[in-house]
Amino acid sequence: MTTLEDVMTQVENALSSGQFERLGGLDTALEDGIRTLRMSDGAHLAALHAKAQRLSRKLAAAAEGVRAASWRLADIRAMGATGASLVTYDGQGRRADAAAQTTLSRRL
């Protein structure tokens, strides 16, 4: 039988290796592990809690990375297949769309 700690380790390994597809089947295993968790000694529960906190931070970081990639893909799509549009950001992070110039500009 797989323990809750084993499932958490599998989630952590999937995140660390970038194998996000492995996460899909682990949600049910996590829920089952939580349901069957028996109150044990405080040291074991404290270790599980610490591992859960580390895992939570890793999951949040992975989610942020996925959101950033999604935003970047949206920017690339906004430029169009021909590259007729240019997406840039100013110093405050505000998005600016502009038509691509057809002539080269020269800096003086």
Q: Give the pLDDT of residue 102.
A: 47
Helix (H) or strand (E) holding 97: strand 95-99
Cα separation, 78 vs 72, in Å, equals 10
Neighbouring residues of 100: CB distance < 8 A, sequence distance ≥ 6: 83, 84, 85, 86
**Helix, strand, coil in percent for the chain, rounding step 5:** 65, 10, 30
Task: Indicate if the pLDDT at residue 67 is higher than 90.
Answer: yes
Q: pTM for the full model?
A: 0.61
Once rounded to an integer, what is the mean pLDDT over residues 55-82?
87
Q: What is the mean pLDDT of the chain?
A: 81
Q: Is the distance from CB of 7 to CB of 29 less than 8 angstroms?
A: yes
What mean pLDDT is predicted for residues 50-56? 92
Find the distance separating the first CA and the last CA of the chain, reported in whole Å.
Answer: 71
pLDDT-derived band at 97 (thresholds 50, 70, 90) equals low
